[in-house]
Amino acid sequence: MIKRTLFFGNPAYLSTKHEQLVVRFPEDNKKEAVVAIEDLGYVVLEHPQITITTGLLMKLVQNKTAVITCDKQHMPCGFLQPMVGHTEQTERMRYQLKASVPLKKQLWQQTVVAKVDNQANHLLEQGKKALKLKRWIKEIKSGDPGNIEAISAAYYFQTLFNALDGFSRNQKGVAPNNLLNYGYAILRAVTARALVSSGLLPSVGIFHSNKYNAFCLADDVMEPYRPYVDALVYDMVETGCNIEDLNKNIKTELLKIPALDVVIDGKKSPLMVAMSRTTHSLQECFSGVSRRILYPEFS
């Protein structure tokens, strides 16, 4: 089942009644909107004047709904997750924490191969050259000691947005970096939600290990999914719309990321469902059941 994403960009009062989310707006206290909590996958709270009851937060967390808060720049900055995401959580976390260095290097190799291949296929879809990326894939070794992941990313973005003067991939760079930042933040929340549901710790990565990063594993696993965000942003750039401002229409499009169609294991699936399959396959690698992470194939 595809879960819904709710976005709140105006002052609102959010509460719960009969297992439903109840929305009231200050300008019209008599008017209410009601949504079944079981249908919700993500709730994005952008406006600072949003009031939400603890009763509603409890039910959202129990439903494994990702509650995302935003900062003054309207960028996602916080993510509320349940303390217990799976009945076998303790055992699964133990396997994760005991994962050997060779295993983690092999898993990172698979991740980088999947990411670069998806980047190459996205470039080909847009009629751009991708021979270098296809060649570099063959050079990716266990642990990616040659840092092909970073080299490929630089070439990929330079080629993808070659028509935009002064563009380079930088969080504080010129547009459409703002769109990419927002999209990746949503993708990160999708990934963290799936990891928790699979009983894994989002903070303990297979490659990323920054002690200030609470979502190292999420940042690892989301890598092959980034080209889907890139494709969505690229299409918006091509329409000629104003990309300098993260307006409501652009955010509405980016909030469709969890429901984007992707192909995984030869079958079409919503991205959020595919991500759950990916995190489940990762858990099986940690526990010794499998040696392969299941990633989507961009087509």
In the annotated binding site for Mn(2+), the residues are 149, 208, 223
> What distance in Å separates the CA atoms of residue 105 and residue 238, rounded to the nearest whole number?
38
Read off the tokens for 261: 């169609």
Assess contact for 139 and 148: CB atoms under 8 A.
Answer: yes
> What distance in Å separates the CA atoms of residue 182 and residue 185, rounded to the nearest whole number?
5
Read off the tokens for 57: 């937060």
Annotated binding site: 149, 208, 223
> What distance in Å separates the CA atoms of residue 2 and residue 170, rounded to the nearest whole number?
32
Assess contact for 227 and 261: CB atoms under 8 A.
Answer: no
DSSP 36: E
Buried b (16+ CB within 10 A) or exposed e, 225-235: bbbbbbbbbbe
> What distance in Å separates the CA atoms of residue 194 and residue 188, rounded to the nearest whole number?
10
Q: What are phi and psi of 82, to 5 degrees?
A: -70, 150
Q: Where are the alpha helices (DSSP H) in the chain?
A: 54-62, 89-97, 101-125, 131-137, 148-160, 177-197, 216-221, 226-238, 248-254, 271-287
Between the CA of residue 92 and those of 85, 96, 209, 286, what are the distances in Å? 11, 6, 19, 8
User: Alpha carbon 263 to chain centroid distance?
Assistant: 16
